[in-house]
Amino acid sequence: MPDAPPISLWDDTAEEPPHDRPLAGNTTCDLAIVGGGYTGLSTALHAAERGLSAHVLEARSIGFGGSGRNVGYVNAGLWLPPQDVEAELGAELGRSLVQTLGEMPAYVFELIEKHQIRCEATRRGTIHAAHSPKGLADLARRADGWAALGAPVRLLDAAETADRTGSSGFHGGLLDPRAGTINPMGYARGLARAAMAAGATVSTGVTVTALTNTNGLWQLTTPGGTVTAKTVVLATNAYTDGLWPGLKQTYTTIHFFQLATVPLGHRVADILREGQGLWDTAPIMFALRRDAAGRLVIGSMGTAHGGTSGLSRRWAARRLARLYPDLGPVDFESAWHGQIAMTPDHIFRIHRLADGLYAPIGYNGRGITTGTMFGRALAELLTGASDSSLPIPITAPKPIPFRTLKTGFYHTAFAANQLLKSF
C-alpha cells in the first residue's frame, strides 16, 4: 500500500518518526482513550506514569486531526482576556484557571526537555499584534489583566512591534515571553513515544464503532478486536464523530488553513527575527510564523481553497506583500487546514458522560497547552484526586442551537474574507 500523503507541512518535516501499530485481537486495560492527539497522548503518558494500564485507539495516524494541523503556538491562557474568564466563571475559579493555563507553556517545554521530543521547540514568546487602534486597546486591557496576576507580559508600541515583526503594518502588540512555537506533529509523535516508553499501548488505524457498558466495564468495539476498560476518555475534540450521541453537537466547528512557503533563507532574516509566533486582533484573525528551515507559515480562519495554486494561495501572497513589501514574490510548497471546536463562551468543557466515561472538549484553538493540561488532570483524577482538582468543573453536555447553520455561516464568511483580501 502506498504511503498516505502528508496532512500538513508538520507531518512532512517532523523529526519524530510516525508510529503505526494496529490493534490485533481483544485486550483489557484500566483506561481506554479514543483519539491520538495531544489530549489522548498526554492522558496516556500521565496515566501510565501513575501506574495505570492505558491504551490509545486512533482511527487514522498519530496527530491526524487538529494536533498535526496546528499552527504550533504554545500559548498561555484562553481566547478571552483574564478579566472575561473571571466574569464567566467567577473570580476564584476564573483566576485559578487563568493561572493554571499561564503555567502550562512551561510545563509543555518541560515535557519536551524531559522526553527529548524533537519538535523544533523555540521558547521566545508569541506576539499578539494589533490590527487597529481598537485592537491595541483590547491588548492593553489584556495586559492589565495579566499584570494583575503577575504575568510577565509586555505591551509593545508600534515601533517595537515593527522591529520585532519586521512589518510596520501593526499598531502595537502584546509580547508573552512564557509562550513559544513547536512543530506540532513532532510534539504529538513525541508524546506517543514517551507514553509507550512509560508502558502505555498506542494503536493506530483503529476506528471505535461501538461503546457499551456491561457490569461496570466499558467495551470498545473495533474491526480489529474489542478493548475492555474500567474507564474511557473520549479525546477527539473537534474530530468527534457519532460514537457518543449528542457529543458532537456541543461545539461549533470552524476551520483554520495554513500555507507554507519554500525555505526563504536570508530573505526572511528580519521577519519575526527572534522566532516568535504572531497572530492578530482582527475578528477573522491571521497567524504568521517561521519554521526551523526558514519557511514562512501563514494562515487564517477558513479552509484551504485550491491548494498552493488557488484562492488561499492568492490570499497568502497578497497578505505577505502587504506586510512585507520588500520580500518579493514567494513560492508556496504546501497548504492544509484543520478543524477547531468552538464553544459559545470560548471556554472549554469537561463532561462526565456516564460513570467512568469522560470527554474534554471545545478547546477553541488552544489545543497544545489545553490538551496537555487535561491529560495530566484526568490522570490525577483517575488515580485518586477529587473532581475539585480539575481545572474546570465537570458539566453536562449541552447542544448548541442552530449549530449546523452557524457552521455554514462561518464557512461562507471565511471564504468571502479570503476572496476580498486576495486582490
Q: Is 277 inside a domain boundary?
A: yes
Question: Per-residue pLDDT tens for 188-213?
Answer: 999 999 999 999 999 999 999 999 99
Q: Is 267 inside a domain boundary?
A: yes
Q: Are residues 257 and 313 in the same domain?
A: yes
Question: Per-residue pLDDT tens for 109-121?
Answer: 999 999 999 999 9
Q: Are residues 289 and 406 in the same domain?
A: yes
Q: Are residues 327 and 308 in the same domain?
A: yes
Q: Please state the rounded mean pLDDT for residues 263-287.
A: 97
Q: Is 413 inside a domain boundary?
A: yes
Q: Is 42 inside a domain boundary?
A: yes
H/E segment holding residue 84? helix 82-89
Strand partners, 253: 341
Question: Per-residue pLDDT tens for 126-137?
Answer: 999 999 999 999
**CATH code of residue 294:** 3.30.9
Q: Are residues 43 and 55 in the same domain?
A: yes
Q: Are residues 246 and 256 in the same domain?
A: no
What's the rounded Cα separation, in Å, for the pair 292 and 290? 7
In the block, cell 470498545 appears at 220
Q: Which amino acid is at 84?
A: D
Q: What is the largest CA-CA distance in the chain?
A: 68
End-to-end Cα separation, the chain, in angstroms: 42
Q: Are residues 323 and 363 in the same domain?
A: no
pLDDT at position 1 over 80: no
Q: Are residues 350 and 280 in the same domain?
A: no
Q: Is 102 inside a domain boundary?
A: no
Question: Per-residue pLDDT tens for 354-397?
Answer: 999 999 999 999 999 999 999 999 999 999 999 999 999 999 99
Report the percentage of the chain scoring pLDDT > 90: 98
Q: Strand 126-129 vs strand 173-176: parallel, antiparallel, or unpaired?
A: antiparallel
Q: Please state the rounded mean pLDDT for residues 222-226.
A: 96
CA atoms within 13 A on the CB side of 405: 3
Helix (H, G, I), strand (E, B) or coil at 263: coil
Report the percentage of the chain scoring pLDDT > 70: 99
Q: Is 122 inside a domain boundary?
A: no
What's the rounded Cα separation, in Å, for the pair 181 and 274? 11
In the block, cell 461501538 appears at 210
**CATH code of residue 16:** 3.50.50.60
Q: Are residues 267 and 318 in the same domain?
A: yes
User: Which among 116, 148, 177 is the end of a domain?
Assistant: 177
User: Which among 120, 142, 177 is the end of a domain?
Assistant: 177
Residue 218: its pLDDT value, please? 98
Question: Per-residue pLDDT tens for 141-194?
Answer: 999 999 999 999 999 999 999 999 999 999 999 999 999 999 999 999 999 999
Q: Are residues 142 and 246 in the same domain?
A: no
Q: What is the mean pLDDT of the chain?
A: 97
User: Which among 121, 146, 177 is the end of a domain?
Assistant: 177
What's the rounded Cα separation, in Å, for the pair 41 and 63? 10
Q: Is 352 inside a domain boundary?
A: yes
Helical residues (DSSP H) of 233-362, grouped into ranges: 311-323
Q: Are residues 278 and 227 in the same domain?
A: no
Q: Is 119 inside a domain boundary?
A: no
Q: Are residues 335 and 411 in the same domain?
A: yes
Residue 3: its pLDDT value, please? 66
Band the pLDDT of 46: cuts 50, 70, 90: very high
C-alpha cell at 387: 473532581
Do residues 290 and 268 make contact, with C-beta atoms less than 8 angstroms apart?
yes
Residue 77: its pLDDT value, please? 84
Helix (H, G, I), strand (E, B) or coil at 182: coil
Helix (H, G, I), strand (E, B) or coil at 309: coil
Helix (H, G, I), strand (E, B) or coil at 233: strand
Domain span at residue 198? 9-70+185-250+346-392
H/E segment holding residue 194? helix 184-197
- pTM exceeds 0.85 for this model: yes
Residue 26: its pLDDT value, please? 97
Q: Are residues 244 and 371 in the same domain?
A: yes
Residue 4: its pLDDT value, please? 79
pLDDT at position 408 over 70: yes
How buried is residue 150: exposed, middle or buried, by Cβ count under 10 Å (0-12/13-18/19+)?
exposed
Total number of domains constituting the chain: 3
